[in-house]
Amino acid sequence: MKIQLLPSTFDEHGRATPEQRLTCFLIDDRVAVDAGSIALAATDAQRQTVRDIIVTHPHMDHMATLPIFIDDMFALLKEPIRVYATEEVIGLLQRDVFNWTVYPRFSELANGTCKVMEYVPIHVGEELEVAHLKVTAVAVNHIVPTIGLVASDGKTGVAFSSDTATTEEFWQLVNRMPDVAALFIEASFPNSMSQLADVSGHLTPEGVAAELRKLTHNHLDVLAVHLKPSYRHILVEELNALGIPRLSAMEPGREYEW
């Protein structure tokens, strides 16, 4: 299974910078988990193959360029872009984003060949097929309705915490999964800002360490994501200082394989 965290900013030579401002993971160039940077950073080849997008929650950094991506692809689509989210989040996307004011209600539009966008409701706790993957999501602990999820291609499993403070059900879900090879966990704020992390529904490196103690797997790679760009250096130091084997900060743009 191939996973890339798409970059969200670029240097003067057009190379991806290490800071993560938006969230969009691509799995096997086919399925996106969140769509923050999809329209900015997906390659032409990836644009042709990504038709399934899971939106974990409606915060801007997780769906900022979803409308732009659908707009870009509008005339070219031979099948709809499927947007997977809980009913609650679908309602929020319809109300606040695809509302004919901020952007068109693409789920009601077609290009002559097919509908351009289709919502697929996610029911928490129930396994769902998303392209070549089996996906199960549960609610995590953020300030808006948010899901964490596990995804498997039949051989390899991966887990995404999305944005969350301390949480329980997600870890039970991950612990039940047999072949989990990699976990993507958020680490937004430095340890000194644990109060802000708590009220905004996020984790610090110390919070990550506490969460990882709930994990019964001990042979998986743990990639920290969602490091707030202004604190990236200190966050990387604090993550390293935890001394947790196989924990590192994920590099935007790099292709990882498990």
Burial class (CB in 10 A: 0-12, 13-18, 19+), 205: buried
Nearest to 142 by CA among 123, 161, 125, 127: 161
Closer by beta carbon to Zn ion, 202 or else 239 = 202
- Long-range pairs for 15-19 at CB < 8 Å and ≥24 separation? 15/253, 16/41, 16/252, 16/253, 17/252, 18/232, 18/251, 18/252, 19/227, 19/229, 19/232, 19/252
Q: How far is the CB of 153 from Zn ion (least distance, A)?
A: 25
Closer by beta carbon to Zn ion, 54 or else 59 = 59
Closer by beta carbon to Zn ion, 116 or else 227 = 227
Task: Report in angstroms the alpha-carbon separations of 201 from 111, 157, 161.
Answer: 39, 26, 12
- What residues numbered 198-257 form the site for Zn ion, per CB under 5 A? none
Closer by beta carbon to Zn ion, 20 or else 152 = 20
Q: How far is the CB of 191 from Zn ion (least distance, A)?
A: 19
Q: Give the whole-angstrom CA distance, residue 203 versus residue 206.
A: 8
Q: Give the whole-angstrom CA distance, residue 143 versus residue 95.
A: 18
Closer by beta carbon to Zn ion, 43 or else 195 = 195
Contact 127, 135 (CB under 8 A): yes
Q: How far is the CB of 30 from Zn ion (least distance, A)?
A: 23
Using CB under 5 A, pick the residue from 29, 34, 163, 238 that binds Zn ion.
163
Closer by beta carbon to Zn ion, 92 or else 181 = 92
Q: How far is the CB of 229 from Zn ion (least distance, A)?
A: 12
Q: How far is the CB of 222 from Zn ion (least distance, A)?
A: 18
- What residues numbered 26-85 form the site for Zn ion, per CB under 5 A? 59, 61
Q: How far is the CB of 200 from Zn ion (least distance, A)?
A: 8
Q: What is the CA radius of gyration of the chain?
A: 17
Dihedral (Cα; 49, 52, 58, 64), 10-degree rounding: 10
- Contact pattern from residue 105 through residue 144 relative to Zn ion, giving x for each residue in contact according to CB under 5 A and a dash for the rest: ----------------------------------------
Q: Give the whole-angstrom CA distance, residue 94 versus residue 109.
A: 13
Closer by beta carbon to Zn ion, 18 or else 145 = 145
The residue count for binding Zn ion (CB under 5 A) is 3
The stretch near Zn ion (CB under 5 A) out of 13-21, 71-79, 147-155, 158-166 is 158-166
Q: How far is the CB of 139 from Zn ion (least distance, A)?
A: 13
Work out whether strand 133-139 and strand 147-152 pair parallel, antiparallel, or are unpaired.
antiparallel
Report the interface residues with Zn ion, using CB under 5 A.
Answer: 59, 61, 163
